[in-house]
Amino acid sequence: MTITQAYLQTWAEARTRFSNLLKDIKQEDLTKKLINTKNSAGFLIRHIGDVELLFAKNVFGATEVKVLAKTVIAQHDTGEWINLTELLEYQSSASDILKAIIEKQTDDTWQQTITTKEFGTKTKAEAIGRIISHTAYHAGQLALTLKYGQ
């Protein structure tokens, strides 16, 4: 197994914490929020997709990717993330794009450093950890929002 294959397996397995939540989500769940929080379930789904696309483009080199990371730009829930079909398609596409660009990495590129305004300078190996933890963090928020949100 190559280093790239190992990172890809790790990312894919970690992402199931998010993707498994989406199997039972309903349209009416999208507006749920936890008490004293600002972000809805719909926002969290869109945000994960936005950040995955940003990582694909800015970290792993998928320069052809067009991304309008609305959740990152707004930095708060604008109330527009209410179309379940669109959100599910968006996050699925983001996942596919990120997976495809990770697969293109060679084992020697994982120690290459990348600098972004969002998180500074990191190796690609550190960056894969960052996207894994980002998705898992927000998947936890989403799980709690779906279970306890109103």
Q: Would you tell me how many other CB atoms lie within 10 Å of the CB of residue 44? A: 27
Per-residue confidence (pLDDT) for residue 118, from 0 to 100: 80
- pTM of this structure: 0.96
pLDDT digits (tens, 9 = 90+) for 75-114: 999 999 999 999 999 999 999 999 999 999 999 999 999 9
Spatial separation of the C-alpha atoms in residues 100 and 77, rounded to whole Å: 29
pLDDT digits (tens, 9 = 90+) for 13-69: 999 999 999 999 999 999 999 999 999 999 999 999 999 999 999 999 999 999 999
Contacts of 149 (CB under 8 A, 6+ apart): 29, 32, 33, 34, 40, 41
Domain that holds residue 78: 3-148
* Helix, strand, coil percentages, rounded to 5, for the chain: 65, 5, 25
Q: How many CA atoms lie within 13 A of 84 on its CB side?
A: 11
Average pLDDT rounded to a whole number, residues 108-127: 93
Domain tally, the chain: 1
Per-residue confidence (pLDDT) for residue 117, from 0 to 100: 84
The CATH number of residue 7's host domain is 1.20.120.450
